């Protein structure tokens, strides 16, 4: 198994999209990228911890490639919005890829460049961060599989 970590706005929708992919074993909501180690949702949502809402994806690379996960990441949020997605505003909703190794870094950078060159977003700049993995803090249990537990539709818009 392998791991990938993505931030693309509210983690409920991000988790939902990754859980739908054949080869994804688990998708876990959490926090990463900030300065505080004792992190809770109530602290992260203030935007003062520096953490992003992220989803850590455990996947079987024999069934789904990291490149395919990147494709899902790019298609399910707006990578040109700085520190926000839709109505969610703050650095905790930033577009970010936390790479786990040099290969993930190279693939993420290549996919970002390809997306920028594709013209899909016109003249808008892709603001997605591609940064090294940091400590992953698992979000509270009620956030895990939140949309399914509450029988809600996805809170993300596919782009």
Catalytic residues: 10
Closest to 6 in 3D by CA, of 90, 88, 75, 102: 75
What does the alpha-carbon distance between residue 54 and residue 15 come to, in Å, rounded to a whole number?
9
CA angle 94, 95, 96 (to 5 degrees): 105
What does the alpha-carbon distance between residue 128 and residue 132 come to, in Å, rounded to a whole number?
13
What does the alpha-carbon distance between residue 92 and residue 31 come to, in Å, rounded to a whole number?
9
Strand partners, 153: none
Residues 35 and 50: beta-carbon distance below 8 Å: yes
- Other beta carbons within 10 Å of 76: 21
Please give the structure tokens belonging to residue 152: 């809600």
């Amino acid at each position: 198994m392998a791991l990938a970590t993505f931030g693309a706005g509210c983690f409920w929708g991000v988790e939902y999209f990754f859980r739908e992919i054949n080869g994804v074993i688990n998708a876990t909501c959490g926090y990463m990228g900030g300065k505080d180690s004792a992190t809770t949702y109530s602290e992260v949502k203030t935007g003062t911890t520096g953490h992003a809402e992220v989803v850590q994806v455990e996947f079987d690379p024999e069934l789904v490639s990291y490149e395919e996960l990147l494709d899902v990441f790019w298609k399910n949020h707006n990578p040109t919005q700085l520190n926000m997605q839709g109505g969610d505003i703050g650095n905790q909703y930033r577009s970010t890829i936390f790479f786990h190794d040099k290969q993930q870094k190279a693939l993420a950078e290549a996919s970002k460049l390809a997306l920028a060159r594709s013209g899909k977003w016109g003249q808008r700049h892709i603001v997605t961060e591609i940064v090294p993995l940091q400590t992953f803090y698992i979000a509270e249990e009620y956030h895990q599989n939140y949309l399914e537990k509450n029988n809600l539709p996805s809170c993300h818009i596919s782009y």
